[in-house]
Chains A and B, each alone.
Chain A
Amino acid sequence: MKKFREKLSGRIFLALAISSVAALALITVFILVQGLPIIKSVGLIDFVFGMTWAPTQGEFGIFPMIVGSVAVTLGAAIVGVPVGVCCAIFLAEFAPAALRNVFRPAIQLLAGIPSVVYGFWGLLFVVPLIRDYLGGPGLSILAGSIILGIMILPTIISIAEVSLLALPRQYKEGALALGMTHWQAIKSVLLPAAKSGIVAAVILGIGRAIGETMAVIMVLGNAVALPGSILDPVRTLTTNIGIEMGYAAGEHQQALFATGIVLFVVIMLLNSTAQYITRGNKVNRGKKK
């Protein structure tokens, strides 16, 4: 009886694991089936690099949206990475226990805020600030970057902090015993040693930023043209799908699925890069006797 139960639980777990992979496969196949025809008919180069997105006139060029995604994500990285990494260093190295117990839950909370709330806050708070003090309509790449930068902070901070804390204690002791100050020890020993973990954190944060839709759909302005400055409104690949899916039909809908394919490829690339970097880290760490 026991043996049977063991086998059964093993089989159940296998079934559940297969179902998650099956879900992924289903989504992938669905997107491919829906989106490939339009890529074939428009042509991959024309689709990815076409400058005009006007589905009602049969124009399906997503380049403005690619530029939008890249610009907003880059901006988010510029906002989020320095703050996140510094915060992780602060939490791992400088903060007294009492402060850490305040900061960590606060950062977890930040991660728990729904993205639509971020968008709402951005619309009511960040956008008017930009509009009044920097010019332009306020709905802009800058607004999206700020919102996304804040959104990816928890991801970056928690993973970077863990990588720092995972370092053997002796790294820091060895550095300090050499007469380094605390900051010198961090800069020259701890950070380089935790580099792969921090890079992985950054890449995961960027991956999240690229995929974010709800938070930015409210603050980006959704103009379909190439932006001229960070104060210009812009549309990303994700917000394009979000806005138009409700009423898209026929070729238009296929084009949106094709946009999904592009996003899929980009995020897969990012994830593989993150995995490769962290794997490379393990190889170098071994001590040979």
Chain B
Amino acid sequence: MRNKNAECRNKNAKCRNIKFFFMALLMLSALFLSGCRPEHSVVIAGSTSVLPYAEILAEAYAHLHAADEIDVQGGGSSAGITAAESGAADIGMSSRSLKESEKHLWSIEIAKDGLAVIVHPGNPVADLTLEQVRAVFAREITSWSQVGGADYDINVIAREEGSGSRSAFEDLVMGESKISPRAIVQASNGAVRQLVSGDKNAIGFISLGLVEEGEKPVKALRLGGVEAARENVVNGTYSLFRPFLFVCAREPEGDAMAFVEFALSPEGRRILEAEGLVTGPSTTPEPTTVPFITDPNFDYIGLFKRLEGVWNVIRPYADNEYNYFFYRNGEPNLFVGYYESEGSDFGTLIGGRSKGENTAQLIFMIPAVSEEPERPPGWIEIVSVDFNSLDSDNEIGIQFENYPREGENWRTFAYAGATFEEAWDVYANARGYTN
């Protein structure tokens, strides 16, 4: 009897020890595992002005690269730059240009954004000069009645000191003056906007693209008569704008670079423009129909042969090539040639005509390299192609399907012009190809 008891007791102790070990192991492993990040992940942090656009880009990017995780956080431009430098974030977002002390970092401008000065929609004031805005924010003017409104105290709302929007505002509007310390401080664009939308006597500044984003409306003031609208930023009449930057400690690689390139790609730029930003050196026109060559006697076969000739010219520069003809009724209808050359050069040569109308549309695509945003004069950019339409009675060619591939960045342009020769001349000169 006694022996049995002793055995039971020992067994219990052992059981307990085993359980203890197991629990400890579990807890330790949980501790370690929690520190792991998924394989492909990019952390982007910084300006709350850039944040909503980065989020939209990230969503679009996620459709294409489902394995990657893009983590977008706020914190303000200065915080974002600091995070990028320290490595806490892969990419920092900034809504102001880099300061002297930050110039050693790698940065690229993905868009320009206007700064809107907003008030409550019920505020009778709709127009102020830049000087008046400055005086209001410096609290030299304290009542709306001094600028044409009702006799109420102006509630000035500013961003926190680390905000890129605030820095940009201080540079562009305040100049030597300082924003009054009595101004209310909020930590994001959204917070400023929300406050202004609820307070009849408030005034604040937010990203131009965010003026329309929100439940309750706010009103953007005209500055010196100029409407706060994207076009006016583009044509230069609206003077309050600042760059949106992606900032990294050094040139990004891998997934981070892929995302940066996506932001700069035609698709990315289209997204940003749709949201109200200004991308590229100047405006991108809407893709329009390329006028057809309507000469019924046009020598299409010759054209195609010439295309083939061009193809032979380009061929030495190409590493890989693919080409094929689309036939219709026994006649070559469309010639499509692809070529790839080293690096991220990618070009497509397309010529084609539509079946019904005896017209042809000449499209000549040129390769683009990621560092070459320049477009030869006279060429318009095509953003997508729909090969399905080639078999119908529709016009050919305006829609191109985008195949952005990893590591590549290509853009397509078409020459809306009369002759193939002209197009080719311009292009060859631009690219330095000899004929």
Contacts and interface: CB of A to CB of B under 8 A. Distances in A.
B161 A222 contact: no
A247 B185 CA distance: 15
Contacts of B181: 52-54, 64, 223-225
B184 A247 contact: no
A105 interface: no
B186 interface: yes
Given A244-B162, A249-B82, A223 B183 contact: yes
Interface in A202-227: 217-218, 221-225
Contact of A128 (B77, B157, B178, B198): B198
Given A246-B75, A246-B76, A247-B79, A221 B198 contact: no
B78 interface: yes
Contact of B184 (A1, A56, A233): A233
Interface string B147-188: 000000101010011100000000000000010111111110
A242 to B, nearest CB: 9
A223 B198 contact: no
User: For B155, B157, B162, B180, which residue has the most chain A Cβ atoms within 10 angstroms?
Assistant: B162
A247 B199 contact: no
Interface residues of B, number: 28
A269 interface: no
A52 to B, nearest CB: 7
A252 B76 CA distance: 16
A137 B184 contact: yes
Nearest to A138: B199
A243 interface: yes
A246 B79 contact: yes
A221 B195 CA distance: 10
B67 interface: no
Contact of A244 (B161, B178, B183, B184): B161
Nearest to B200: A131
Contacts of B78: 246-247
A249 B183 CA distance: 23
Given A137-B202, A139-B184, A1 B13 contact: yes
B177 to A, nearest CB: 13
Contacts of B79: 246-247
Given A1-B13, A244-B161, A247-B161, A222 B75 contact: no
Nearest to A56: B161
A55 interface: yes
B160 A137 contact: no
Interface string A224-253: 110000001101000000011011110000
Tell me the dominant secondary structure on chain B's binding face: mixed
B31 to A, nearest CB: 15
A218 to B, nearest CB: 8
B184 A222 contact: yes
A221 B185 contact: yes
A139 to B, nearest CB: 6
A63 B352 CA distance: 76
Interface in A75-115: none
Contacts, number: 68
B103 to A, nearest CB: 16
Contacts of A223: 181-185
Nearest to A123: B194
Interface in B49-84: 75-79, 82
A126 to B, nearest CB: 12
A131 B75 CA distance: 28
Contact of B182 (A225, A244, A248): A225
B416 to A, nearest CB: 48
A209 to B, nearest CB: 21
B199 A137 contact: yes
User: For B77, B183, B185, B198, which residue has the most chain A Cβ atoms within 10 angstroms?
Assistant: B185
Nearest to B160: A243
Given A138-B199, A223-B181, A247 B76 contact: yes
B11 to A, nearest CB: 13
Contacts of B76: 246-247
Given A137-B155, A137-B199, A137-B202, A55 B184 contact: no
B184 A221 contact: yes
Contact of B185 (A52, A138, A224, A246): A224
Nearest to A57: B178
Interface in B282-304: none
A52 B195 CA distance: 26
Nearest to A232: B182
Contacts of A243: 160, 185, 187
B197 to A, nearest CB: 11
A52 B181 CA distance: 9
B75 A247 contact: yes
Nearest to B201: A137
B108 to A, nearest CB: 21
A1 to B, nearest CB: 7
B162 A247 contact: yes
Contact of A246 (B153, B162, B191, B201): B162
A131 to B, nearest CB: 6
A208 B155 CA distance: 30
B361 to A, nearest CB: 54
A44 B282 CA distance: 54
Contacts of B185: 221-224, 235, 243
Interface in A38-78: 52-56, 64
Nearest to A242: B187
A244 B77 CA distance: 12
A131 B199 contact: yes
- CB-CB nearest 9 A-B residue pairs: A247-B162, A247-B78, A222-B185, A137-B155, A246-B79, A224-B181, A221-B184, A225-B181, A247-B79
Given A54-B181, A223-B185, 19 more contacts: A52-B181, A55-B161, A64-B181, A131-B199, A137-B199, A137-B202, A138-B199, A221-B184, A222-B185, A222-B186, A223-B184, A232-B182, A233-B184, A243-B187, A244-B160, A244-B162, A246-B75, A247-B76, A248-B162
Interface of A: 1, 52-56, 64, 128, 131, 136-139, 217-218, 221-225, 232-233, 235, 243-244, 246-249
12 contacts: A53-B181, A128-B198, A137-B201, A138-B199, A218-B191, A223-B182, A225-B182, A232-B182, A233-B182, A246-B79, A247-B77, A247-B160
